[in-house]
Structure 1
Amino acid sequence: MSDPAAAALLRARVSDAACVLFGLVTVVAFGAAMDRGGASARLLALNVGAGLAACALLVWRRRHPAGVLIAMGPLVAVSLLCTGAALVAWFTVAAHRRWPVVAGAGALYLAMLPLHIWRQPWGRLDPAALLPGLVVTVGVAGWGMVLRHRRHRVQTLVERAERAEAEQRDRVRQARRLERARIAREMHDVLAHRMSLLSLHAGALEFRPDAPPEEIGRAAGVIRQSAFQALADLQEIIGLLRADETAESAESPGDRPPVEPARPQPAPADLPALVEECRRAGMPVRLANRLPETAAMPATTGRDIYRIVQEGLTNARRHAPGAEVMVTVGGDEAQGIRVEVISGPGITPAPVPVPPGSGMGLLGLDERVRLAGGRLTHAPTADRGFRLEAWLPWHR
């Protein structure tokens, strides 16, 4: 048994013992008063027996509080020595039952008091002497009902707190699912770019096996570097997903493993490096970056700009090999940001078939731009090229 359950059971047992002891003390006190008043031995024995029976009924007061109080009614009519046990039963009913039950059981209990006064053979009992008893009885009932209301209030607050914790856990799980979806989109954008470079150079080596050794060595170097970077990106993504799953299965925040901070996200300042990488791969690319250098751009907006350009270059490399590509990025905080990637018609045949998954990049890019509150358009141009244009708000 857990410690809280054991402590609660111990408190219940101590409370029951105290209630029975209070009833016995009442029996002894009133019995001594009757003995001093000259009551006969037979009458004294009858009253003491009724008082002890009432104390014995207190054993079932937690399971059947109203039934115990009703069963004590005839005993109260017989003997005043049942007063202590009856008050305990009365308090239990008020503390554990609704007020209609309390009112009904209390009315039956109070109806026995006039009968008790009427049948006293050892001296008339002044009805006015019962007034303090009635006040005490009503006070005990009020105390019990206040405790019941307080316990109900505490239980309601506990349920609300548990419900709030459950809702918070649901929000955390939802945030993790959204983060996994974001990581999946990033994985597609990054790996698609790396794999397109690998496919391009591997296809070139297959298409031109008689190329000069310098050109073969340069292509092999690009293949090695792209494969190494793709493997590093994939390992980082898998590590993030594993760390997130482990944190979600932890029982408490203290049990969660530390998550390594993510590396810096790409920004418009990284576009020249991206373009230079494509140039080294043999892709003619021009970049016109007209963004203001002094303005502070949100990190998420800068990352979206980079991914749009990266996906546009990847599509051009896949579907229009050898075509010249023009990348234009411009805008400001008031008008938003416009990103444009225009490629001409392919001038060389594709060295390898288009890899699987082609065509899904634009769908993912459209979702990224839509979630950012922007617009994306793409269509062929009149000279059989392709135009990709996106507008993004400066602030989301």
Structure 2
Amino acid sequence: MTRAAVPEHPWLLPGALSVDAAARAGRGPRRTTRDWVVDSICFLLSLGWVLLATADAVGSDPQFSTPLSQRWMVPADALLGLACCALLWVRRRWPLGLAVATTPLTLFSMASAVPLLILYFTVVVHRRTAVALAVTAAGLITNFAFNYLRPDPHMPYWVTVAWGVVISLSVLAWGMFVRARRQLVVSLRERAERAEAEQQLRVAQARHLERTRIAREMHDVLAHRISLLSLHAGALEFRPDAPPEEVARAAGVIRGSAHAALQDLREVIGVLRAETTAEEDPERPQPTLGDLPALVEESRSAGARIGVREVVTSVERVPAAVGRSVYRIVQEGLTNARKHAAGAAVTVDVAGAPGDGLTVEIRNRWPVGGVAGPEIPGAGTGLVGIAERVSLAGGRLEYGRDDSGDFRLAAWLPWPA
């Protein structure tokens, strides 16, 4: 997520940016309902102050000591106050320009006091601190001159000056507080939007990882089932004179394996096409170490010679992820034996205990004279996927031809105590 660019004044708030940008483009600022309400209240308060100050000046005898204290100053002051009230409607466009232009009025105009304070407050809210302090300093200087030119008959000079300083600093503090609060709100909003975008990214990544994991699982499952199909179909092709019972049994295995393969393929395609999140995806039952005998028996029904030795302490305590990895390793080993060493005897050893880890080894004789019959096609990435699975689990994997001439696939997986 990128932050909004600030063309000229990086200290402005987003609302002030849009107003100033509209002003530079020659368009009127777009007011919200809240802006209309606030501007109306400010105008009415200022208008009330102008009427009150004018009525007070008319009802009292002039007691001024300088030539500026002529009676024509009262209506002139009232007109200046009304003009400043009208300027409040455009103060959002040019707050600093209006504040600078009306600064001379603070030398002598009493009726303009409230609208000029509102202009000053607008500058503090929408401009950086240095500009606000400069305007404040100018106002404090004119405060001394105003109390000298129009002294209060009921209070000493320095008391009225002190009251002017207090009022100016109070407006400055209030405006800076409002500006800081708006900046905090903008920052929190951006942070919330950024957090929402990051959450959506995490959900997308989780969905991608989940689909990748399911695709990897389906690769192992489909490779195993399709290799069984190829093995049985090859037996029927090379033995067309087999007894009807054997042909029927092989056809039943082919039908069952094809049905299971189609079901697995339908599930993975449905998951990969789904637009739901990973948490909403239907989770299919995953194999565990307890499903290993069924896997071996399925291969034996296809004619494979498999010997199993399982020495595992506390089978029920094997973590689900470790048991699933062992299942996939054995499945890949049996599939490779059918592909590359058809007819060779296969031995499967599984042993382990909590704290010692779990060891699985699949061994078969190296084929002599090549593979009989057509070779079962494959992607050649089965062992790569097993190596990745074992690595993610924190284990070790070894495979290849050993000194005795057998092909050996062995893995060790951690099993915490």
**1:242 Cα shift?**
2.5
- Identity, in percent, stands at 48
Partner residue of 2:378? 356
Match of 1:171 among 202, 205, 219: 202
Q: Distance in 2 between matches of 1:307 and 1:350?
A: 26
Query: What are the superposed Cα offsets for residues 94-129 of structure 1, whole Å, 9 maximum, x if unpaired?
Result: 222221111111222333334434545998995333
**1:333 Cα shift?**
1.2
**1:89 Cα shift?**
1.1
TM-score by length of 1: 0.89
> Cα gap change, 1:124/1:277 in structure 2, threshold over 3 Å: closer, same or farther?
closer
User: Residue 164 of structure 2 aligns to which amino acid in structure 1?
Assistant: G
Judge conservation of contact 1:69–1:109 (CA < 8 Å) in 2. Answer: no
Judge conservation of contact 1:379–1:387 (CA < 8 Å) in 2. Answer: yes
Match of 1:225 among 241, 244, 256: 256
Judge conservation of contact 1:117–1:124 (CA < 8 Å) in 2. Answer: no
**1:175 Cα shift?**
1.8
**Ranges in structure 1 where 5+ consecutive residues have no aligned partner:** 1-7, 249-255
Q: Distance in 2 between matches of 1:122 and 1:132?
A: 12
Q: Describe how 1:89-238 pairs up with structure 2 within 5 A.
A: 89-120=119-150, 127=157, 128-238=159-269
User: Residue 97 of structure 1 aligns to which amino acid in structure 2?
Assistant: R
**Ranges in structure 2 where 5+ consecutive residues have no aligned partner:** 1-30, 63-69
Where 1:394 maps in the other structure, the secondary structure is coil
Question: What root-mean-square deviation, in Å, do the aligned CA atoms of Structure 1 and Structure 2 show?
Answer: 2.4
Where 1:80 maps in the other structure, the secondary structure is coil
Where 2:317 maps in the other structure, the secondary structure is coil
Bigger shift: residues 312-321 or 129-138: 129-138
**1:84 Cα shift?**
0.5
TM-score by length of 2: 0.85
**1:87 Cα shift?**
1.1
**1:270 Cα shift?**
0.8
Q: Distance in 1 between matches of 2:245 and 2:198?
A: 62
Partner residue of 2:414? 393
Where 2:172 maps in the other structure, the secondary structure is helix
Q: Distance in 1 between matches of 2:409 and 2:49?
A: 94
User: Residue 357 of structure 2 aligns to which amino acid in structure 1?
Assistant: G
Q: Distance in 1 between matches of 2:326 and 2:340?
A: 21
Where 2:72 maps in the other structure, the secondary structure is helix
Query: What are the superposed Cα offsets for residues 215-256 of structure 1, whole Å, 9 maximum, x if unpaired?
Result: 22221111111000001111111222223x3448xxxxxxx9
User: Residue 56 of structure 2 aligns to which amino acid in structure 1?
Assistant: A
Judge conservation of contact 1:344–1:383 (CA < 8 Å) in 2. Answer: no
Bigger shift: residues 57-66 or 78-87: 57-66
Number of positions where the alignment pairs a residue of Structure 1 with one of Structure 2: 378
Q: Distance in 2 between matches of 1:373 and 1:383?
A: 29
User: Residue 22 of structure 1 aligns to which amino acid in structure 2?
Assistant: L
Q: Distance in 2 between matches of 1:121 and 1:297?
A: 93
Q: Distance in 1 between matches of 2:79 and 2:383?
A: 92
User: Residue 201 of structure 1 aligns to which amino acid in structure 2?
Assistant: H
Judge conservation of contact 2:225–2:258 (CA < 8 Å) in 1. Answer: yes
User: Residue 323 of structure 2 aligns to which amino acid in structure 1?
Assistant: G
Judge conservation of contact 2:310–2:349 (CA < 8 Å) in 1. Answer: yes
Q: Distance in 1 between matches of 2:338 and 2:177?
A: 78
**1:305 Cα shift?**
0.5
Partner residue of 2:14? none
Partner residue of 1:242? 273
Q: Distance in 1 between matches of 2:128 and 2:289?
A: 69
> Cα gap change, 1:228/1:102 in structure 2, threshold over 3 Å: closer, same or farther?
same
Q: Describe how 1:24-63 pairs up with structure 2 within 5 A.
A: 24-38=47-61, 42-63=72-93
